[in-house]
Amino acid sequence: MESSNNVGSISVTLLGTGTPIPDRDRHGPSQVIEIAHDIVLVDCGPGSLHRLLEAESNVTAISHVLLTHLHSDHVSGLADLLWAGWVGGWWNTPPVLIGPPGTEEFINRLLYAFEEDIRLRTEEGSVTIAGLRPTIHEIEDGWTITHHKWSVRGFRVDHYPVKHAFGYRFEYEKNVVVISGDTCVCENLQIYAQDADILVCEVAWEEGMKRAIETSRGPKRARWERILRYHMSSLEVGKVAANARVKHLVLSHLMLMNGTPADLLSDVRPSFDGKLTVGEDLAKFSTKVQ
C-alpha cells in the first residue's frame, strides 16, 4: 500500500477487484478517489460498504457516487451504502449520485422495493426521506463537473449490448486518474486515458476465456464469447495503455478464468513498459508516488 499524503495528488483505493462471482478476497468492482478534500466513490459493487470501512475511508466526506453502468456487480452495494448513511446519520443528504441514463429509474425502483423499511423508519420520526434519496444526474458523453478545483469528466465506452456505459477521467492540479469502467477496446477510452498518471482498467485473461469458449457448447459458449467481446482482453490492455502514454496501469475487475495475476502480467508486459500493477482489494495508489 502506498502513501497518499501528497498535496495536490489524487489517490485511488481499490475496494473491490472482482467480478459478479463471489470471492472472499476480491469483492465487487468499486474504487475510492481522494481528491482535494473530497472523497468520490466510483461504482459500488457487492461488499463495497465493508471495504470502505476496512479502508478507513471517511464515509461522511463522500461528496459524489459515480456509476459506470447499471450491471449488478457495479451497483448492488449501493443500497447498503445509502441505508448505512441514512440510518447511521452520516449525512443530512446523501452524496450526489451520477450515473448513466436509467439511474433515476433504478433508484426509484430501489426505494420502492424497500418501501416497508422506509415507511417504518420514517414513521419512527428520527429520519426523513431527504436523508436517503440522493440528488441524481444522468450523464451523457463529455459530461463534466468542477468541484473544489478538481474536475471529473464522463466518457462513453463500448460495453455493448449495455447501451449506456461510461468511464471517468479525474483531473486535479495536473494529476490525472482514469477509471475505464467495463469496456472492450474503444476509441473513447484511448482518447480519455491520454497521459493518465493512473489508469484503472478492467481485464479478462484471454487464454482462460478462449479455453472456456472452446470447452462449452450452446448458450454457455455464446455467453463466454459475448463476455470476451465486451470486456478488455489481457492481450489488448497493455496496447491501450501504451498508446495513451499511461504512467501507471492498474488492472482490476479481474476475470482470471483459473489463471493467476502472473498470467495477466506476462500477457500485458510485452506491450506496456510503464508501471504495471495487478490490483488487490484495498490497495491504494497515488499520482505523486509513481
- What are the catalytic residues? 73
Helix (H, G, I), strand (E, B) or coil at 12: strand
The gap from C-alpha 122 to its chain's centroid, in whole angstroms, comes to: 32
Distance between CA atoms of 13 and 21, rounded to whole angstroms? 21
Nearer to Zn ion, 71 or 153 (CB): 71
Distance between CA atoms of 214 and 224, rounded to whole angstroms? 9
Query: Is there binding between residue 73 and Zn ion (CB under 5 A)?
Result: yes
Nearer to Zn ion, 71 or 133 (CB): 71
Distance between CA atoms of 12 and 41, rounded to whole angstroms? 10
Write the CA distances from 86 to 113, 137, 237, integer angstroms: 16, 20, 39
Question: Per-residue x/- mask for Zn ion, residues 133 to 172, rule CB under 5 A?
Answer: ----------------------------------------
Binding segment toward Zn ion, per CB under 5 A, in 59-67, 73-81, 84-92, 168-176: 73-81
Strand order in the sheet with 150-156: 144-147, 150-156, 166-172, 175-179, 198-204, 248-255, 275-278
Query: Is there binding between residue 43 and Zn ion (CB under 5 A)?
Result: no
Write down the least CB distance from residue 258 to Zn ion, Å. 19
Nearer to Zn ion, 182 or 267 (CB): 182
Q: Where are the alpha helices (DSSP H) in the chain?
A: 48-54, 72-75, 78-87, 103-113, 115-124, 187-192, 206-214, 218-229, 237-243, 261-268
Q: Tell which residue, 209, 206, 177, has the closest CA to residue 193.
A: 177
Write down the least CB distance from residue 79 to Zn ion, Å. 18
Write down the least CB distance from residue 130 to Zn ion, Å. 31
| DSSP category for residue 156 | E
| DSSP secondary structure, 19-41, as one string | -SS--SS--SSEEEEEETTEEEE
- 66 close to 170: Cβ distance less than 8 angstroms: no
Among 27, 71, 164, 248, binds Zn ion (CB under 5 A): 71
Nearer to Zn ion, 85 or 181 (CB): 181
- Percent helix, strand, coil in the chain, to 5, is 30, 25, 40
Binding segment toward Zn ion, per CB under 5 A, in 35-43, 67-75, 169-177, 261-269: 67-75
Write down the least CB distance from residue 124 to Zn ion, Å. 37
Question: Per-residue x/- mask for Zn ion, residues 171 to 210, rule CB under 5 A?
Answer: -----------x----------------------------
- 204 close to 184: Cβ distance less than 8 angstroms: no
Write down the least CB distance from residue 72 to Zn ion, Å. 9
Binding segment toward Zn ion, per CB under 5 A, in 36-44, 51-59, 70-78, 221-229: 70-78
Write down the least CB distance from residue 21 to Zn ion, Å. 11
Nearer to Zn ion, 107 or 184 (CB): 184
Binding segment toward Zn ion, per CB under 5 A, in 32-40, 71-79, 85-93, 238-246: 71-79
- Which residues sit at the interface with Zn ion, rule CB under 5 A? 71, 73, 182
